[in-house]
Amino acid sequence: MRVPSGDPLVGERYEVEVGPVAHGGGHCVARHEGRVLFVRHALPGERVVVRVTEGTTTSRFLRADAVEVLEAAKERITPPCPFAGPGKCGGCDWQHVTPGGQRKLKAQVLTEQLAKLAGLTPAEAGWDGSVEPVGGKLAAGEVPAWRTRVQYAVDESGAVGLRKHRSHDVQPIDRCLIAAPGVTELGIESRTWPGMESVEAVAATGSSDRQVILRPRPGAQLPLVELDREVSISRVDEQELMHRVHGRTFVRERAADRTWRVSDGGFWQIHPQAPDTLVDAVLTGLDPQWGEMALDLYCGVGLFAGALAERVGEDGAVLGIEAGKQAVADARHNLAALENVRIECDKVETLLPRTGITSTDLIVLDPPRAGAGRETVAHLVGLQARRIAYVACDPAALARDLAFFREGGYRPVSLRAFDLFPMTHHFECVAVLEPVAGRA
């Protein structure tokens, strides 16, 4: 492990003027004696006292928490959650901000990343500059219970909680305010979990399915689980393999007029309205036509592939590519009734060049947080799709890839941002691209 040089500054306090919001981590930028500080629990324009949490006298930048507010921004509120604040739970970045203020901060982050990494203004990206609320606007201090999947950490005593920011330390809690009702009613927070490293709760949307996934510490025995309702239970072993303990190994989610099997805690959007919101945005942007060919890349359990297949019809075809073996098995199960869909298992960058596909009409890609990357984007632009929908959970990765698409002759014609993770710095985007005239 690399040992930082210089004298430690952790615990030092400085009075600073807070500058703009920065990408990632829910922090804002401030300066003290010429050195950059990344400050959490602050807002742009505020004057605060910060306490350094990471860094030394030779560090290029410091990390800090705002521990005293001298001049508050108008968007500041008292955090509704008692576990939010300096040194506490790291899950929610912006409990101290009004819902409208949170969306403005996210819009500022996206604007900055588009300019810095893609050289685009909001207008050039086809974006109206807003981050859209999902499920209606919230009043100041109102906390939506949206998170249908929560992974609780467990401390040495067996108490459950959530990790502190940039730490393995556990903040014990008795209730997570953003957890969906189906998670809360399991009663996980009201009991102890001796010998467990983590306990993950899954509450499906549109069905009564509930799942708890236990990760024991090495050598520990599973506890006798008596929860507040009927629930399926699985465990994760030291080789990251999943084993059924009780009930099903999957939950059934309902979205896009279809029931989806999602196994072993696999990926599914955690806001209950996210799948329908994103499917609607993708279909609106792509406008699929009967008989067209479409690619669904990083397809997961088949959400977008299923929606596209219905629109292109029996004369069209959809190819989904996904690297996760269990997700592919689920996708094939979920879409078994659609004869115009094929799902293949491999990495997109590995399999797509081997398919022999030289052209397609439509592409939707929903890559992991790191984005698709230059090589994959270069291959996609060579397929001459009339439209491409890019679903992104990281604005920096999206902006970088938009720059690669521009190099290949594609430009964004619309961009929408959705506040699918209230109280955090995260949000989701859907960008729709078309070939520049004369370069298709």
The set of catalytic residues is 393
Q: How far apart are CA 296 and CA 298, in angstroms?
A: 7
In residues, how long is the chain? 440
To the question of whether residue 298 is assigned a binding role by annotation, the answer is yes
Distances (CA, A) of 225 to 53, 188, 198, 214, 399: 38, 10, 14, 10, 46
98 DSSP 8-state letter: -
Packed helices 99-113 and 395-407: angle between N→C axes, nearest 10 degrees: 30
User: 318 pairs with which residues across the strands?
Assistant: 294, 341
User: 297 pairs with which residues across the strands?
Assistant: 321, 365
Q: How far apart are CA 10 and CA 69, in angstroms?
A: 19
To the question of whether residue 366 is assigned a binding role by annotation, the answer is yes
Nearest 10 degrees: Cα torsion 342, 283, 417, 94: -60
Q: How far apart are CA 332 and CA 384, in angstroms?
A: 27
- Cβ within 8 Å of residue 4, ≥6 positions away: 55, 56, 58, 59
Please state the φ and ψ torsions of residue 407, each to the nearest 5 degrees. -60, -35
Rg (CA), the chain: 23
To the question of whether residue 185 is assigned a binding role by annotation, the answer is no
Q: For tokens 């088949």, what's the residue?
A: 302
Binding residues: 269, 298, 322, 366
Binding residues for S-adenosyl-L-methionine: 269, 298, 322, 366
